[in-house]
Amino acid sequence: MNAEQLAELNFEKRKELTKENLKYYEDMLLYIRLSYDKSEQETEEILSELLDHLLEAQKEGRTAKDVFGANPKKYADEIIGELPKMVTKERVKNIFNVILYFFASAAIFTPILMVIFNLISKKGSLVKEFFIGSLIIETLLSIPLAFLILYSIIQTLRWLCFKSIPKFVQLFLFWLIGVASVGIFLALLIIIPDFGRKVEIHTVYIFLTGIILLLFAIITGKFKYSNSNAKQE
């Protein structure tokens, strides 16, 4: 089975776990899957093996702690260390999609924010001015910023694994990441001076561009490489 089929089967088999074992295993699963530079196929294979082992132990009356130990993070780190690193076409596609979603979001929300600002300030202009030179610099800086945000989210999710932290605290942490990200992005817009040729674009066209980018990201996100390193059944 390929990685996607293994993940689907894993989801179904997990329903057989007790509440305690499910929490333990899902933390381990999330922690291992978020090791983004590892072979997806081998990651899903080892997760499937761990689940089968746990289900057998559960039938014998043993818990996940009995099987994998009281320190699941250490156990998961040992597993991750044995998994081969791999940058597949799927990984490259996912990186490309992150960039698309980032710019799609910016293009969609910019007109919305402009409309809200115009309603509050009672200004009628829905035309946004761009300076080509500034826009290029902002774009080049925005791409690493997008990956920094993604990296921060992934590391926060990994840190939350194996911890009993209330949901509202978790939401607050992600809210802080969001606020910090917006703050950094706005700081870039303020710091970078306007230079280059000035272009005026109506917010409707910016919004439509965002929709097109979003649709393109969704379509490419659903595309699967048939010649990936998946093993045959």
Secondary structure of residue 75 in the 3-state scheme: helix
Q: What is the pLDDT of residue 99?
A: 84
52: tokens are: 């089968």
C-alpha angle 17-161-156 in degrees, rounded to nearest 5? 145
State the angle between helix axes of 132-160 and 19-33 in degrees (0 to 180), rounded to the nearest 10. 140
> What pLDDT digit, counting tens, does each position of 32-90 carry?
988 877 778 888 899 999 999 999 999 999 999 998 888 889 999 999 888 877 666 66
d(CA 199, CA 190): 18
Please check whether residue 41 is in contact with residue 231, taking contact to mean a CB–CB distance below 8 angstroms. yes
50: tokens are: 């761990």
Closest CA to 98 of 151, 29, 157: 151
Report residues of the chain scoring pLDDT below 50: 226-233
What are the CA-CA distances from residue 143 to residues 99, 102, 168, 170, 218 (Å)? Answer: 7, 8, 30, 26, 19
Q: Give residue for tokens 């009281």.
A: 70
Residue 79: CB atoms within 10 Å: 19
d(CA 220, CA 226): 14
20: tokens are: 């305690």
Q: Positive or negative CA dihedral for 200, 205, 211, 215?
A: negative
Q: What is the pLDDT of residue 228?
A: 41
Radius of gyration of the chain (CA): 23
Q: What is the pLDDT of residue 55?
A: 94
CA 217 to chain centre: 14
* DSSP states along 153-209: HHHHHHHHTT----HHHHHHHHHHHHHHHHHHHHHHHHHSPP-S-EEEEEHHHHHHH
